[in-house]
Amino acid sequence: MCGIVGLFTKTEALRPALGQHLSGMLVTLSDRGPDSAGLAIYGAERAGRIKITVQADDPARLSALDIPGAEIRVIDSHAVLTLPEEAAPEAEALLRATPGLRVMGAGTRIEIFKEVGRPADVSRRFGFDGMQGTHGIGHTRMATESAVTTDGAHPFSTGPDQCLVHNGSLSNHNSVRRRLARSGVTVSSENDSEVAAAYLTREMAAGKDLGQALTSALDDLDGFFTFVVGTRTGFGVLRDPVACKPAVMAETDDYVAFGSEYRALAALPGIETARVWEPEPAQVYFWEA
Amino acid sequence: MQRHDLATDDLRSLNAALQAQAAHTNQTEWEVLNPRGAHAIAVGLDAPIDVTVNGSTGYYCAGMNKQARIHVTGSAGPGVAENMMSGTVVIDGDASQYAGASGHGGLLVVRGNAASRCGISMKGIDIVVGGNVGHMSAFMAQKGSLVVCGDAGEALGDSLYEARLYVRGSVKSLGADCVEKEMRDHHRAELGRLLAAAGLDHDPGSFRRYGSARQLYHFHVDNAGAY
């Protein structure tokens, strides 16, 4: 199971209500994944600033964070730190090394919020409804390959402004994890989907664009998958060749939307006249702003 | 005309009302509004009634149908008309994976494309697809006919038994034990009947027929090494 939703805007029309649409889509798919839920949203960027999203089981830790030059916005168990680009690597390293804190993701635009719980509760806790941006990807999880924890919740971010959500299960994630480790990429959780995220990060770090990285994933990743992937300006979709995990897409002049089921898309503006289709197996789809 | 609006009425009451129709019901025309991708719409029907679903459906629409004529004006999610026994199901848009799976009888028409595994394990149902079908269609199909007016994906008719497959466009690849077969007069006649029933006017002569080579029916000693 698991449910995936994604929305990539091509015009301004949906951007002020992006979070509201994504939240509605996510809650609609609650019965595909009641264990945990999460959202990666690509909002406004500020020149020379990096955002780091960090999570703590004890939120008191977040308001007490002392990172020089950082503005801190606490939202439930998460905080978004905005700080000068040059200070970001050191701050991120410090946050990652601090027990009890988890870095969810970092970049100029990405913010990631994910927790254990039903999608409606997770959405309410973080206020998904009020979030704005150009694109976002959400996931509601029915756990299979690792435990029901914040670490096991999607989206996974393993590179700057990158995120991935996954419906399925990878069968060669341990060997890919070892290969990634040998090339200097460590995967922090036991989760198979995070391996896929790290794999794409490595491929893109080697110079591939999102489309090329997804194409190589078809050769290197084995198992069941429907992936939806975000980058700073891009949005990609890939299904494995057997394609037993469901996927529906819709496109209008204003947006591209992804849902595990049509239900998730049914409330989108203009869906009645949108081009709605099932993405082909083993075919890479991606859009860049 | 009986009208159920799923924006206000719940799905269980719709299905209960449809399932309660007797063979000689006077309530023969039903309309379902605002399906919005809901699952299991109009399942388990057993009466000669007409049901029009205005919009797109989710999983398992029209499953286990007997007698009823069900028309979906949008697209259908996975498993539409699964295990149909008789009646007719028409989808104006596309159908997701395993459309018409395991069906024993009746006619399923998909005017758009059907995704993977269309007609998997079909057991007597007839399926007419106006567009393309995805990979592994008619896998282990035992009886009935699958008509594809567009192209067929990989491994068509893998491990096929006695179902007949007619494809007008290209076939990406044939599955194990599926071969092209001669199109005889009675095949053209059958195909003509199915196309007419689906409201399509393609020339039966423009299709090619595929069926079982019947090499997997029995243990073959030459294959002993494979076990």
B43 inside 8 A of chain A by CB: no
Q: What is the pLDDT of residue A213?
A: 96
| Res B222: pLDDT | 80
| Nearest-angstrom CA–CA distance, B226 and B214 | 18
| Chain A residues touching chain B at CB-CB below 8 Å | 241-244, 246, 248, 261-267, 276-278, 280-281
pLDDT of res. A86: 95
**Domain boundaries, given as residue ranges, for chain A:** 3-42+116-288, 45-108
User: Are B134 and A243 an interchain contact pair (Cβ–Cβ within 8 Å)?
Assistant: yes
Distance, CA of B42 to CA of B32 (rounded, Å)? 9
- Residue A4 is predicted with a pLDDT of 97
Mean pLDDT value across chain B: 96
- The residue assigned the tokens 């007797």 is B22
Calpha distance A68→A49 (Å, rounded) = 14
Does residue A155 have a cis peptide bond before it, meaning omega lies within 30 degrees of 0? yes
pLDDT digits (tens, 9 = 90+) for A51-76: 999 999 898 999 889 898 999 999 99
pLDDT of residue A53: 98
State the average pLDDT over residues A127-132. Answer: 98
Q: Model confidence over B21-70: pLDDT tens digits?
A: 999 999 999 999 999 999 999 999 999 999 999 999 999 999 999 999 99
Distances (CA, A) of A113 to A32, A52, A207, A287: 19, 11, 28, 23
**Around A191, how many Cα atoms within 13 Å sit in the side-chain half-sphere?**
28
Tell me if B135 and A262 make a contact (CB, 8 A cut-off): no
- Distance, CA of A125 to chain centre: 18
| Cross-chain CB nearest to B77 (options A241, A243, A262) | A262
Q: Which of A242, A261, A276 sits opposite B58 (nearest CB)?
A: A261
**Residue A251 bridge partners (DSSP):** A256, A275
Question: Cβ–Cβ of B78/A246 closer than 8 Å?
Answer: yes
- Mean pLDDT in chain A? 95
By three-state DSSP, how is residue A25 classified?
A: helix
Asked if B117 and B101 touch (Cβ cutoff 8 Å), the reply is yes
Between vectors from CA A243 to CA A113 and to CA A140, what angle results, nearest 5°?
A: 20
B38 in contact with chain A, both atoms CB, cutoff 8 A: yes
What is the percentage of chain A residues whose pLDDT exceeds 90?
Answer: 91
Give the integer Cα–Cα distance in Å for A258 and B46. 36
Of the candidates B157, B158, B154, the one whose C-alpha atom is nearest the C-alpha of residue A241 is B154
Which residues make Cβ contacts (< 8 Å) with residue A149, sequence separation at least 6? A36, A116
pLDDT at A44 over 90: yes
Coarse DSSP helix, strand, coil percentages of chain A, rounded to the nearest 5 percent: 30, 35, 35
B190 touches A at CB < 8 Å: no
| Residue A163 appears among annotated catalytic residues | no
B131 neighbors B150 (Cβ within 8 angstroms): yes
Distance from the Cα of A266 to chain B's closest Cα (Å) equals: 5
pLDDT of amino acid A186: 83
Query: How high is the pLDDT of residue B220?
Result: 79
Contacts of B96 in chain A (CB under 8 A): 246, 248, 278
Catalytic residue among A1, A2, A39, A104: A2
Expressed in angstroms, the distance from the first to the final Cα of chain A is 30
Neighboring chain B residues of A267 at a CB cutoff of 8 Å: 36
User: Residue A145 pLDDT more than 80?
Assistant: no
pLDDT of residue B214: 93
- Give the chain A residue nearest B136 (alpha carbons): A242
* Lowest mean pLDDT, pick from A107-121, A179-193, A223-237, B111-125: A179-193
Q: Which of A243, A261, A280 sits opposite B77 (nearest CB)?
A: A261
Whether pLDDT at A87 is above 90: yes
CB contact under 8 A, B94 and A244: no
Could you tell me the residue ranges of all domains in chain B?
1-96, 100-213
| Residue pair B211/B181 in contact by the 8 Å Cβ criterion | yes
pLDDT beyond 80 at A83? yes
Angle at A253 (CA atoms; ends A251, A256), nearest 5 degrees: 30
A42 exposed, middle or buried (CB, 10 Å; 0-12, 13-18, 19+)? buried
Q: What pLDDT sits at residue B133?
A: 98
Beta strand pairing status for B29-33 and B2-5?
parallel
Return the DSSP state at A125: H
Q: Whole-angstrom Cα distance, residue A58 to residue A73?
A: 15
Instruction: Considering only the beta carbons, identify the residue of A241, A262, A277 that sits closest to B37.
Output: A262
Q: What is the pLDDT of residues A26-35, one digit of tens each?
A: 999 999 999 9
A3-42+116-288: CATH, from 3.60.20.10, 3.20.20.120, 3.40.50.1010, 3.90.1150.10: 3.60.20.10
SS3 B4: strand
| Strand ordering across the sheet containing A223-230 | A163-170, A223-230, A234-239, A285-288
Rounded to the nearest angstrom, the minimum Cα separation between A23 and chain B is 17
Taking a C-beta distance cutoff of 8 angstroms, is the pair B161, B139 a contact? no
> Cα–Cα distance between A226 and B73 in angstroms, integer?
28
* B interface test, pick of A1, A278, A280, A283 with most B CB neighbours within 10 Å: A278
Between residues 148 and 187 of chain B, which touch chain A (CB distance below 8 Å)? none
Q: Where are the alpha helices (DSSP H) in chain A?
A: 18-28, 60-63, 88-97, 119-126, 173-182, 192-205, 210-220
Residue A32 CA to residue A35 CA, distance in Å, equals 9
Asked if A42 contacts A135 with a C-beta cutoff of 8 angstroms, the reply is yes
